[in-house]
Amino acid sequence: MGKQARAIGANTFQFFTRNPRGGNVKALDMADIENYLAFAKEEGIEKILAHAPYTLNAGSEEERLQTFTRETMLEDLRRLEHIPGAMYNFHPGSHGGRGPQEGARSVARMLDQVLKQSQNTMVLLETMSGKGNEIGRTFEELRQIIDAVELKEKLGVCLDTCHVFDGGYDVAGRLEEVLEEFDDIVGLWRLKAIHLNDSMNALGSHKDRHSKIGEGGIGLEAFRRIVNHPSLKDLPFYLETPNDLDGYAREIALLREMAADNSHFVEK
Ligand code: FE
Ligand code: FE
Ligand code: ZN
């Protein structure tokens, strides 16, 4: 995956820790990890992001699902300790109709069972669109989870531009205000990664359908502001747009050009 990332002009990448819609995992191959670490060092690849499978639900109180979620997260985190600097991103989950407050409490309880004082891997809560019974649509819900977790120093947030836009935060028209609100409620210092996606739908649609950069409701000019924003520009950006590899290479080139563009005007 590192080689593929370099081939399309990326200096980081996101990967699924296992089948995103399943749970099985391959045996841990230490030689493979060693090879990757050597390659990453040579190529300057840092801050890669591991994405937990969609089948987890830390917000559930159903015992079998809790066991599966706990065991998967523990195993994923145990493995990630072999990759220094990697972060682990997960969807907080679904409250199954019990309400986001109750759901947030369940997520915090799960994190308390999974996080260890000794771990180096940061665990990121992904901002969600609020589709169905999703937990984590509002910044307040994220804050509520973090507040209730004992080892909160292990927690960060990954902001998905499509999800927050679909969740009702206008990152297209009011980026500054949205980031201020995030800062007030969660703290910008907790923001560790950005999922860069346009949205097929309108602000507040709660749909979660990603579109290519510049082809959706967020629009190209908003992405120019996002990749150049002083609070965001140094974070790792991950594309989750509907693309083939060539498409990703084009989007990376476009975003790099937009980011470079601005450096002519911003003097430090
Ligand atoms: Fe995600
Ligand atoms: Fe995402
Ligand atoms: Zn999504």
Task: Write the pLDDT tens digit of every residue in 219-255.
Answer: 999 999 999 999 999 999 999 999 999 999 999 999 9
More confidently predicted of 266 and 160: 160
| Nearest ligand to residue 130 Cα | 3
Q: Please give the distance, rounded to the nearest whole angstrom, from the Cα atom of residue 69 to the centre of ligand 2.
A: 19
Query: Is position 67 within any domain?
Result: yes
| Nearest ligand to residue 167 Cα | 3
Instruction: For residue 105, give the CATH number of its domain.
Output: 3.20.20.150
Model confidence band, residue 24 (pLDDT cutoffs 50, 70, 90):
confident
Residue 165 CA to residue 12 CA, distance in Å, equals: 24
More confidently predicted of 159 and 23: 159
Query: Is position 266 within any domain?
Result: no
Query: Is position 264 within any domain?
Result: no
What is the percent of the chain with per-residue pLDDT over 70, rounded to a whole number? 97
Which residues contact residue 66 at a Cβ distance below 8 angstroms, ignoring those fewer than 6 apart?
A: 60, 110
Q: Please give the distance, rounded to the nearest whole angstrom, from the Cα atom of residue 240 to the centre of ligand 1.
A: 8
Q: Please give the distance, rounded to the nearest whole angstrom, from the Cα atom of residue 34 to the centre of ligand 1.
A: 27
pLDDT digits 0-9 by tens, 136-160: 999 999 999 999 999 999 999 999 9
Q: Please give the distance, rounded to the nearest whole angstrom, from the Cα atom of residue 265 to the centre of ligand 1.
A: 34
Residue 252 CA to residue 239 CA, distance in Å, equals: 8
Residue 181 CA to residue 247 CA, distance in Å, equals: 33
Q: Which residues pair with 49 in a beta bridge?
A: 14, 87
Dihedral (CA of 168, 242, 259, 194) sign: positive
pLDDT, averaged across the chain: 95
- Using CB atoms within 10 A of its CB, is residue 260 exposed (0-12), middle (13-18) or buried (19+)? exposed
The answer to pTM > 0.85 is: yes
Domain total in the chain: 1
Query: Is position 226 within any domain?
Result: yes
pLDDT at 263 over 70: no
* pLDDT recorded at residue 268: 42
Residue 169 CA to residue 171 CA, distance in Å, equals: 6
What is the percent of the chain with per-residue pLDDT over 90, rounded to a whole number? 90
Query: Is position 123 within any domain?
Result: yes
| Nearest ligand to residue 129 Cα | 3
pLDDT digits 0-9 by tens, 122-140: 999 999 999 999 999 999 9
Q: Please give the distance, rounded to the nearest whole angstrom, from the Cα atom of residue 128 to the centre of ligand 1.
A: 8
Query: Is position 267 within any domain?
Result: no
Domain that holds residue 41: 2-258
Query: Is position 223 within any domain?
Result: yes
Query: Is position 51 within any domain?
Result: yes
Q: Please give the distance, rounded to the nearest whole angstrom, from the Cα atom of residue 134 to the centre of ligand 2.
A: 13
Residue 123 CA to residue 76 CA, distance in Å, equals: 11
* pLDDT recorded at residue 28: 85
